[in-house]
Chains A and B, each alone.
Chain A
Amino acid sequence: EAEVAQSPRYKITEKSQAVAFWCDPISGHATLYWYRQILGQGPELLVQFQDESVVDDSQLPKDRFSAERLKGVDSTLKIQPAELGDSAMYLCASSFQLRNTEAFFGQGTRLTVV
C-alpha cells in the first residue's frame, strides 16, 4: 500500500541549531502539506505545495522556517534556529490533486528542542 514517507521519525536538537525534516509523498500526488502538531493540540497547516509551487504559506513563521519542493516530488522543511517552542510533531500529507481529493498523512517527525 502506498504511503507518505517521513524521516527522521524522531529528532532531538539543541536550541539555536538547525534541523530539517524530509517527506516523500505518495507517488503521483501533486499536492503536499506540512502540518505542525503541538502536544495536546490538533494539527495546524504550515505550508501547502502544488507541484513545486507554494500555494499557501500564510501560517509558516518565515523568520526561521523554510520549505521547499524543488522537483515537485519530495519536500524538506527546515528550522533555523530552532527554539524550545518548536517542539512538536511535524506531519506531512499528500493528495492526488489540489481539489476534490483527500489527504493521506505520514507517520510524522517528533521534534524535541532542548
Chain B
Amino acid sequence: AQSVTQLDSQVPVFEEAPVELRCNYSSSVSVYLFWYVQYPNQGLQLLLKYLSGSTLVKGINGFEAEFNKSQTSFHLRKPSVHISDTAEYFCAVSDLIERGKLIFGQGTELSVKP
C-alpha cells in the first residue's frame, strides 16, 4: 500500500520570498512522484514529476523538487514566489506501471501575500 503525507496544510509567505512545500511518502514498492497545482474551482495541472535519473527535477512556473529516497521525501521549492502562485498544491505517487492511477496527499494551501 502507498500513502502520501503533506506536512503542512497551509503555508503563508510574502511575495518574492522562497518557499518549500514538504511531502513524504510511504510505499512497499518503487514509485513515481508528482506535484500538481489546483487553482480555485479548477482541475489539476501537473507541475513536475520524478520518474528516474537526476533527483532534482525542474517543472513549470519556476518550481523544482528534490527526490530523497533515503528520507522518502519529495519536497517542492521555489526561490521567489509571486501572487499568482497562490493555489492548492498536491503531492502524489503512482506505481511504476500506471502513472494515471494516483495516490494524493491532503494538499498544501500556499498563500502568497503582497
Question: Which residues of chain A have a CB within 8 Å of any CB of chain B?
Answer: 4, 6, 9, 31, 33, 40-45, 48, 56, 89, 91, 93-95, 98-108, 110
A105 adjacent to B43 (CB under 8 Å): yes
B69 on the A face (CB < 8 A) = no
B99 adjacent to A95 (CB under 8 Å): yes
Number of B residues near A (Cβ < 8 Å) is: 22
- A29–B49 Cα distance when bound, in Å, is 20
Q: Please classify the interface of chain B as helix (H, G, I), strand (E, B), loop, or mixed, using the class held by over half of its residues.
A: loop
A45 adjacent to B99 (CB under 8 Å): no
A105 adjacent to B44 (CB under 8 Å): yes
A102 adjacent to B105 (CB under 8 Å): no
Question: Which residues of chain B have a CB within 8 Å of any CB of chain A?
Answer: 4, 34, 36, 41-46, 49, 90, 92, 97-102, 104-107
- A9–B36 Cα distance when bound, in Å, is 20
B41 adjacent to A42 (CB under 8 Å): no
Shortest B35–chain A CB gap in Å is 12
